[in-house]
Amino acid sequence: MKTKIILASKSKIRINLLKNTGVPFTSIGSNYDESIIQTEYKKVKQNIQTISTMVYRLALEKAKNISKDHQEDIVIGCDQVLLFDDKIFLKPKSIKESISQLKQLSGNIHNLVTGTLCIKNEREVWHYISVQEMKMRKLSDEYIGNYIKSMNDKVFSVLGGYEIENIGINLFEKIGKDLFSIQGISILELLVFLRSEGYIE
């Protein structure tokens, strides 16, 4: 039986990015409770190294949750965390939190740390960590308010309350070099691995 590829995510952005490559895959949402790991890291001062470990662990646990029932398949796990001023920013839980995050990021540089990995039989066979530096332009309070209003409920589903692939690009002066990783999955590196192992042509 040919090995299937499973994306352990229901993120529309990640699904579309992988779909656009032409790779045949199935998308299955992982029910792993991310707060188990996130809580550990929110209590202490952060840096790129600790955040890289965090996204790796989260991506691994998400993929493992799916791999338990799909032992012979390749499961792709992903996670992403925003790091600013030695603190982690997760998806905002309220309009107030979203406004606070954007006010802090306004005019400053932050990093998006993205973990992408593959597991088979509940064991990791490949992983890649991407760190992308992002420079947000100086935003007025009025602009932030109008932006959040235009995002509606979508603001609660993205880190820092912005979608780089849509109107969120207007918040930035500069972004990192890897647009795929910024959007949540390191597509190019993933394809190199899948091709090297014969899972795709």
Enumerate the active-site residues.
Answer: 79
CA distances to 74, 145, 173, 182 from 193, in Å: 11, 42, 32, 19
SS (H, E, C) 103-124: HHHCCCEEEEEEEEEEEECCEE
In angstroms, the CA 199 to CA 201 distance is 7
Question: What's the distance, CA 19 to chain centroid?
Answer: 17
CA neighbours closer than 13 Å in the CB half-sphere of residue 43: 5
